Amino acid sequence: MSECPYCGRKNADERYSGRGPFRAAHGGKVFGVCAGIADHFGWSRFSVRLVTILALVFFFPATLIAYFLAALLLDREHEPHYDV
């Protein structure tokens, strides 16, 4: 099924198929890295953010470097433009 029967939104796997991970344009807290990764893989944004925070606690330098590299290297999500 290509759309949600309740809200009409497209399923995440079809919206983001054929693309690599990206930074979310909407709903991101800092740079949109966790939200974009969660949307790309179909995971919960909360769980990705929780894992990131736990990684920051236990592996601070490596996680911080990886997060900022992802923020610099990942493309920003492109929203479709609709002409009215």
pLDDT tens digits, residue range 22-78? 888 777 888 889 988 888 888 899 999 999 999 999 999 999 999 999 999 888 876
Based on the structure, what is the number of domains in the chain? 1
In a domain, 55, yes or no: yes
Residues 11-38: tens digit of each pLDDT:
555 555 556 778 887 778 888 899 888 8
Side-chain-side CA neighbours of 54 within 13 Å: the count stands at 6
In a domain, 67, yes or no: yes
Is 69 in contact with 33 (CB distance < 8 Å)?
no
Place of tokens 């309740």: 6
CA distance 67 to 81: 29
What residues make up the domain containing 43?
12-73
Is 40 in contact with 21 (CB distance < 8 Å)?
yes
In a domain, 23, yes or no: yes
In a domain, 20, yes or no: yes
In a domain, 31, yes or no: yes
